[in-house]
Amino acid sequence: MPTSTTNTPSGTRRRSQPAVVISREEIARRAYELFLSRGSQHGRDLEDWLRAERELQPKLLQRAS
């Protein structure tokens, strides 16, 4: 997992927590599940993608803690 460092006002470097990300594959998988659950109606792909991101956000926060 990638980590980053930040400079503090005193000039010392501080290591931040590892970056936790939801993969595009996870979002795509959930968006596809939403698409299927709506009867495979086309034209709402952005809505499905954004909903998948919102649904997966709590899982992201759990991973980070």
Q: What is the pLDDT along the chain (65 residues), one digit of tens a residue?
A: 455 555 556 666 666 665 678 899 999 999 999 999 999 999 999 999 999 999 998 877 776 66
Q: How many domains does the chain have?
A: 1
In a domain, 49, yes or no: yes
* Buried/exposed code over 15-51 (b: 16+ C-beta within 10 A; e: otherwise): eeeeeeeeeeeebeebbeebbeeeeeeeeeeeebbee
Residue 40 is assigned to a structural domain of this protein: yes
Helix or strand or coil: residue 11? Answer: coil
Q: Tokens at residue 32, please?
A: 């596809």
C-alpha–C-alpha distance, residues 46 and 50, integer Å: 6
Does the global pTM surpass 0.85? no
**Assigned domain for 34 exists:** yes
CA distance 33 to 55: 12
Residue 6 lies in a domain: no
What domain range is 28 assigned to? Answer: 20-64
